[in-house]
Every structure is written in C-alpha cells, then in structure tokens.
Amino acid sequence: MKNGNPPPFSHASFLGRIGVCRRDLTPPAGIHSRLWGAAKHDTAEGIHRPLTATAITFQKQASDSPFVLIALDYGCWSNVDDEWFVRGGLIEALSLDPSRVIIALSHTHSGPTINREMAGQPGGHLIAPYLDRVRDTVIEAAWQAVTSASDATLSWSRGTCALAVNRDLTDPSGKDRKICGYNPEETADDTLLVGRITAGDGKILGTIVNYACHPTTLAWDNRLISPDFIGAMRETVESHTGGAPCLFLQGAPGEVSPREQYVGDPAIADAHGRQLGYSALATLEGMLPHKTQLEFDRVVESGAPLATWKRAPQTCSTILAVIRTEAELPLKRDIPTLDEIQKELDATTDRVQRERVNRKLQVRRVVGNGAVSRRPIWVWRLGDAFIVAQSDQAYTKLQMELRRQFPDNPIAVVNEVNGSCGYQPPEELYGRNIYQVWQTPFERGCLERALDASALAVRQLLAS
C-alpha cells in the first residue's frame, strides 16, 4: 500500500487506435448444411438469424501494422485449404504479419458447410462461390476497420453467466461410457469476460464477449441457418450499446454446453442468447467510465468509520505485442493413416458412421501422418490483458488454470482459431469412454502441454 492506502481499482485496459467493422455473411438457403450425423436433411431450408463477420483492429499508431481480430459464425474448418484460402487471402491483401491475424469461429452447429470438397453433395455447388464471398468480405471488413480506426480504449471486466453446464454425463443405460449431455452432478466454469471499446467522448464503439459454451442448442431437427445463441446475444448487447458491434469469442468449451440443447426450436436458442447477453450487459453496467479508476480518499467518521473512494484519471497501457508459439503434442499410436481412413470412408454407407469417419479423416489431414503434431498458439498482449488463441477445443481447465496463474491480467482464451482439429481433454480423463477422448488424435497430456506453452508465452510478454 502506498502511504498506507489500499491500491486503486481499475479495469485492465489498452489505449491506442482501434477500428471496428461488421459485415453480413448470411449464406443462401439451399446451401449444403449437414453438421449432425443424426440429421435427415442435407441442405438449409431457410435462415433463423443472419451470420456475420465482425472485425476489430488494434494499433499503437496509424503507421503501425495492425493486429486483426475477425469473428465468423461458423462451426469449424474441416478443410485446411479452405481455411487458408480465407486467412491467407486476408494476409496477402492487406500485407499483414501472419502472427497478428486471428480468425475465430463461434462454433455454431447450425451453419453452412464451408468445405469445397462437398461440392458433389446436395447444395454443395453453392459452397465455392460462398467461400469466395467470405474471403472478400473478411478482407473488406478488416480494411474498413483499419481505415476507420480512431483513438480509443479497450477495457475489460470479469462477470459470470449460468448458461454453460457440464455435458459429460454417465450413460443412464448402464453402458460404460460418458454421453454428451447435461450432467447435473458437476459444475461448470461460469466465467464471462467482457471487453468495452470506448471513444474519447465516451461513446461505445464495440464490445467483446468471451465465454465458453458449445452452440449446440439447435441440432439435427433444425433446418435453418443459425448462429445459435450467439445471434440473440449480439442483438441484446447491441440494443443497449447504441448499436455498437458485439464480437463473440468462443472460449475453451470442451465439456460445456447449454442445459437444454439438441432441439429444433430457434426460440430456445434465442432465450439462451438473451441470457448470455443480459449477463454481458450486467458486467458492462458495473464498469467505470473509460480511463477512470477508483482511489481511496479518506475516512469519514459517522455511525461507523467509513472508507470513501473517489474517481481519478487512469493511465492506460499502450503495449501491443505478440508471441506465436507451438505446443508439441504426441499423437495416439493407434490412429489409422490417411489411406486407411479413406478406405474406411469408402466402405461406409451408414450416414451417422460416415459423418464420424469423415471427421476423423479431416482431423488426420490436419495433424499429418507423423507421430507428433506441432499445434500453433497465438498469444496477444493488448495492454494489461491477453488473448490466448488456438485451433483446438480444450476443456475449460485450460482457461481456468491460466486465469489462476495470472489473476491480475484478464485472459480471453479462444478456441477454433485459424483452423480446426481435435479436442484437448485433461490427462485424467484418458482411458475412459468419452467422446472427446476417443475423437481427439492427441495423446494423454495434450491439454497440459498446451497450457504450459501458453503460460510461458504470457510470462514472456509480461517480462518484455
């Protein structure tokens, strides 16, 4: 304590040039959209809510190369070439440093198929032209964000939301396995991280919502393109912030989902979105004005001795830095090669089984035929806060442990970034019959290795 006084209270912040842009990316009805093995349909029959691209850019000053954060309403990249078609096109068009580009997917399970290899499937002829539009729209949104950037402050606050529950349920039928659904016997990480972008005059320019929860409200009975709960969440937040775009970042959702899910009713997804949106708004409402902190003032003797605090100017950090690192993850010894999986797929006629085998094929293409896969991790320092981003889907242990190790620095853990691959379950779950364990190509200890690599990068950025 300075002069015996307690330390001031302030929000972790970044002060610099920040740009925000929103663009519509709703695909045409009739596009191939089959993300559920149990689905009886192959194409989308209509639109529940628009899909969007939201871009936020960060610079110390206008002459600097920007950090570009893009959020898209898709499930996953099942083809590495298609992912690079979009991200690589953005990097080339704007001459960006690849380590300063994050394209994060919301992980909705009700979006279009974005895999050009599915061109021969019903509605597949619409995929390639749609991906052309996605690439062009992402470039346009990033460019508009950079060119319209202004001096602004990004401030963060922690909140909570009860939408996410544990989804690793012991099979009630007595089978020795865990099934994906609400488990009332376990608690879930309810941490919500909200960022507020504020102009010099106090106007909100944009918001960021970082939360871990599988967007699996809508499932095989739903025939509409939908961002799931993310759409209503954005609408709720934006309706109370002057229409400022709200960007959603999916956390580490390995074992969390809504309690009520796998339905065909979009109204339930909207209710989930409002729940998260109201929690985000409550967090925003509790924040101090930008560039403001609370300082201890004095003691007022009354019926009790009263500690009074007052608002005072805050000096905000202008640090922008990045480390692009890797986690070396050993692969399971028993996973088949690409050729073996392809032969299995060619011999499979059951729709559900074909979906599983095809996913296995795409994962193997990402990690290769070797014994180890070097999985990329992007760690950005934005003033006092961090974004830790990776392509895989970790259990919430990853974000909980990072936040425990760095309690003074808000950390937005983001999954489904710059590609897609497999799950990262905690090592203690290996050897159990759980979907996330048998789906992943990674051997025991993968989450812990990713955690160590991420924590090391955060420490290095704090020390630099």
Share of the chain above pLDDT 70, in %: 99
For the residues of 311-378, what is the DSSP string, one character each? Answer: EEE---B--EEEEEEEEEEEBPTTPPPHHHHHHHHHT---HHHHHHHHHHHHHHHHH-SSSEEEEEEE
Residue 2's pLDDT is what? 53
Tell the burial category of 371 from Cβ atoms under 10 Å away from its Cβ (0-12, 13-18, 19+).
Answer: exposed
Residue 370's pLDDT is what? 82
User: Kindly report the CA angle at 373 between 367 and 378, in degrees rounded to 5?
Assistant: 100
Specify the residue for token string 């192959």.
Answer: 42
Share of the chain above pLDDT 90, in %: 89
The helix/strand/coil state of 15 is strand
Residue 365's pLDDT is what? 79
For 390-418, write each residue's pLDDT tens digit.
Answer: 999 999 999 999 999 999 999 999 999 99
Residue 442's pLDDT is what? 95
Residue 334's pLDDT is what? 83
pLDDT confidence bin for 255, thresholds 50/70/90:
very high
Give the range of the structural domain holding residue 330, as residue numbers without chain letter.
321-393+401-463
Residues 354 and 459 in one domain: yes
Q: What integer best gives the mean pLDDT of the chain?
A: 95
Last residue within a domain, chosen from 285, 309, 330? 285
Within a domain: 5: no
Within a domain: 66: yes
Residues 142 and 190 in one domain: yes
For 144-153, write each residue's pLDDT tens digit.
Answer: 999 999 999 9
Tell me the average pLDDT across 295-324: 98
pLDDT at 104 > cutoff 80: yes
pLDDT confidence bin for 263, thresholds 50/70/90:
very high
Tell me the average pLDDT across 254-259: 98
For 77-97, write each residue's pLDDT tens digit.
Answer: 988 999 999 999 999 999 999
Within a domain: 186: yes
Within a domain: 127: yes
The helix/strand/coil state of 421 is coil
Within a domain: 297: no
Residue 1's pLDDT is what? 55
Tell the burial category of 333 from Cβ atoms under 10 Å away from its Cβ (0-12, 13-18, 19+).
Answer: exposed
Comparing CA positions, the residue from 460, 12, 401, 399 lying closest to residue 213 is 399
Sign of CA dihedral 391, 443, 258, 196: negative
Last residue within a domain, chosen from 234, 259, 285? 285
Last residue within a domain, chosen from 266, 285, 304? 285
Contacts of 421 (CB under 8 A, 6+ apart): 363, 366, 367, 373, 375, 391, 392, 441
pLDDT at 321 > cutoff 70: yes
Residues 82 and 201 in one domain: yes
**In angstroms, rounded to a whole number, what is the distance separating the alpha carbons of residues 47 and 262?**
18
Within a domain: 294: no
pLDDT confidence bin for 329, thresholds 50/70/90:
very high
Residues 349 and 265 in one domain: no
pLDDT confidence bin for 349, thresholds 50/70/90:
confident
For 172-214, write each residue's pLDDT tens digit.
Answer: 999 999 999 999 999 999 999 999 999 999 999 999 999 999 9
Whether 215 and 106 have beta carbons less than 8 Å apart is answered as yes
Within a domain: 2: no
pLDDT confidence bin for 3, thresholds 50/70/90:
low
* Strand pairing category for 305-313 and 372-382: unpaired
Strand ordering across the sheet containing 385-390: 320-330, 372-382, 385-390, 411-414
Residue 97's pLDDT is what? 98
pLDDT at 127 > cutoff 80: yes
Residues 273 and 326 in one domain: no
Phi/psi of residue 439, nearest 5 degrees? -75, -40
**Tally of domains in the chain:** 2
Residues 325 and 278 in one domain: no
Residues 386 and 273 in one domain: no
Sign of CA dihedral 385, 455, 252, 118: positive
Residues 276 and 337 in one domain: no
Whether 264 and 221 have beta carbons less than 8 Å apart is answered as yes
pLDDT at 456 > cutoff 70: yes
